[in-house]
């Protein structure tokens, strides 16, 4: 199992916290801008209330002490009230500072508010602002002169509160998401992983199967498919063991059967020397039957023994193919070889010999009168075996290269092509059916390497 730092749960926790903090950052900009705007509007409202003391006096003036108190309450240096169809009212300190910038709240848009907000946050020195805007207490315009530093300090305090709140929200949300995902995904995935590891170590142990659930989501589907896959693999392993045991039994039976057939062949050879023509004819039939039985035993032994060890040598390909034609039921003239005599390949001669013998005999048994073996390419080595027979039936094509299922004739086993594929695969090559039809069948055999001129010593 992975450590906590490398686990999926820890990664989900970190990602959740990061995403929540990112969302808070995106929310922070409009929040701090709204806070700054509200703070300035409060100063406008406080300035309007301060000017009400001037309206309460007949002269529109107050004592210097009251004026200072009102300005302290506003937090500014001066206030001007612009009333329509009336005289303006003003509160001012004795020495108001020079105004650095005028902020008109009525003329600012969203972009301007955001821009001014971050300008305020990033400045380190104080500025004197003249803030103008309509008063929320009435239809008048109020202008107040004040320092920017108190606003910036309030914005910093608000930002700290936002940061703390964001951390709390992100941790709380991450904890909930972590627990939910841990229960819904991580724990089931751990059960699936543990079941896979247990199945790898001991496929036959029932405990290696993941517990069945009724979940309808992807995790439930994965669990059910894993159970189904394990059941199929167990069945395949049992079948493989049975086939292995059967193969061992067949190998032992074949060994004894070949000895029996050898004795029967001796008897058939003696019968062939009989002067009686009927006995001689029957003995010939018996010999062919015995030869086929011996060939079947040999192919079965060859297929059962999967410990195929190649003994590659350098030999002339055309010379080997002429030997193939000589043993193909004695029909030497039915085989045509189209390649130079001095072309040599490096392979296991006996194994490759069996492959071509099988292909040639299959073609002759299917009714072919001419078989052509053609060197199509020398790098890599590609050899085409074509015949003019009637073609292979669909059932044989569907089960091609499958033992006991891919035979093209009645009574066949299909072992020959299955063995041929294994031999070619052991050489690092392949055998494939290129085409088959009424005009004949073409197989293509591929070997790695280059076909080069063989030495005089090569056979």
Q: Which two tokens stand for residue 113?
A: 């508010």
Residue 146 burial (CB < 10 Å; 0-12/13-18/19+)? buried
Q: Is the pLDDT of residue 242 over 70?
A: no
The Cα–Cα gap between 84 and 139 comes to: 9
CA angle 345, 350, 351 (to 5 degrees): 85
Backbone angles phi, psi at 50, to 5 degrees: -65, -35
CA distances from 168 to 172, 174, 414 (A): 6, 10, 73
Vertex 272: Cα angle to 364 and 362 (nearest 5): 10
62-105 pLDDT, tens per residue? 777 777 887 888 888 888 888 776 666 677 776 678 888 888 88
Domain assignments of the chain as residue spans, ordered by start: 8-172, 218-303, 310-453
Contact 215, 231 (CB under 8 A): no
pLDDT in tens, 378-418: 888 999 999 999 999 888 888 788 776 545 555 455 677 88
Nearest Cα residue to 362 out of 297, 295, 303, 314: 295
Alpha-carbon gap, residue 84 to 312, rounded angstroms: 111
Give me the mean pLDDT over the 209-236 stretch.
76
Nearest 5 degrees, angle CA 335-CA 383-CA 327? 30
Rounded to a whole number, what is the distance in angstroms from the first to the last CA of the chain?
Answer: 59
DSSP class per residue in 333-348: GGEEEES-TTEEEEE-
DSSP state of 99: P
Per-residue model confidence (pLDDT) at position 315: 93
* pLDDT per position as a tens digit, 280-309: 666 666 666 666 666 666 666 665 555 557
Residue 380, preceding peptide bond in cis (omega within 30° of 0) = yes
**Distance from the Cα of residue 22 to its chain's centroid:** 29
Q: How many CB atoms lie within 10 A of CB 62?
A: 17
Does residue 175 or residue 245 have the better pLDDT?
175
Confidence category of residue 135, pLDDT binned at 50, 70, 90: confident
Most confident of 147-151, 179-183, 260-264: 147-151
Neighbours of 102 (CB within 10 A): 11
More confident residue, 154 or 332: 154
pLDDT over 50 (residue 457): no
- Give me the CATH topology for the region 310-453: Heat Shock Protein 90 (3.30.565)
pLDDT tens, 143-167? 888 999 999 999 999 999 988 888 8
Whether the full predicted model's pTM is greater than 0.75, yes or no, is no
| Residue 104 parent element (H or E) | strand 101-104
The token pair that represents 283 in the structure block: 């003995």
């Amino acid at each position: 199992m992975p450590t906590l730092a490398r686990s999926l749960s820890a990664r989900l926790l970190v990602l959740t916290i990061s995403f929540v903090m990112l969302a808070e950052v995106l929310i922070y900009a409009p929040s701090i801008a709204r806070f700054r705007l509200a703070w300035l509007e409060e100063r406008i409202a406080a300035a309007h209330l301060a000017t009400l003391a001037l309206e309460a006096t007949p002269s529109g003036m107050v004592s210097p002490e009251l004026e200072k108190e009102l300005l302290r309450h506003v937090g500014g240096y001066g206030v001007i009230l612009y009333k329509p169809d009336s005289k303006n009212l003003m509160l001012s300190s004795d020495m108001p500072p020079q105004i650095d910038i005028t902020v008109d709240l009525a003329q600012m848009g969203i972009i301007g508010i955001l821009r001014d907000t971050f300008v305020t946050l990033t400045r380190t020195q104080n500025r004197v602002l003249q803030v103008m805007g309509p008063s929320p207490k009435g239809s008048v315009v109020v202008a107040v002169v004040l320092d920017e530093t108190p606003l910036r300090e309030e914005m910093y305090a608000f930002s700290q509160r936002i940061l703390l709140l964001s951390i709390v929200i992100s941790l709380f949300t991450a904890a909930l998401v972590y627990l939910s995902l841990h229960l819904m995904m991580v724990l089931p995935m751990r059960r699936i992983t543990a079941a896979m590891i247990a199945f790898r170590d001991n496929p036959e142990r029932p405990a290696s199967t993941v517990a069945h659930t009724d979940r309808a989501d992807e995790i439930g589907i994965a669990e059910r498919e894993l159970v189904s896959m394990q059941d199929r693999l167990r069945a395949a392993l049992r079948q493989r063991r049975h086939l292995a045991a059967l193969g061992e039994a067949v190998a032992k039976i074949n060994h004894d059967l070949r000895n029996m057939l050898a004795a029967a062949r001796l008897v058939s050879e003696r019968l062939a020397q009989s002067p009686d023509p009927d006995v001689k004819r029957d003995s010939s039939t018996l010999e062919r039957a015995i030869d086929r039985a011996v060939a079947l035993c040999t192919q079965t032994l060859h297929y059962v023994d999967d410990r195929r060890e190649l003994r590659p040598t350098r030999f002339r390909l055309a010379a080997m193919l002429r030997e193939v034609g000589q043993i193909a039921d004695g029909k030497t003239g039915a085989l045509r070889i189209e390649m130079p005599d001095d072309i040599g390949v490096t392979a296991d001669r006996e194994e490759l010999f069996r492959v071509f013998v099988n292909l040639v005999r299959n073609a002759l048994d299917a009714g072919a009168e001419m078989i052509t073996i053609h060197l199509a390419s020398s790098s890599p080595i590609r050899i085409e075996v074509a015949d003019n027979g009637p073609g292979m039936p669909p059932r044989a094509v569907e089960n091609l290269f499958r033992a006991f299922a891919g035979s093209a004739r009645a009574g066949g086993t299909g072992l020959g092509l299955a063995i041929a594929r294994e031999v070619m695969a052991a050489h690092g090559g392949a055998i494939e059916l290129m085409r088959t039809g009424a005009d004949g069948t073409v197989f293509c055999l591929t070997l790695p390497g280059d076909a080069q001129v063989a030495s005089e010593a090569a056979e």
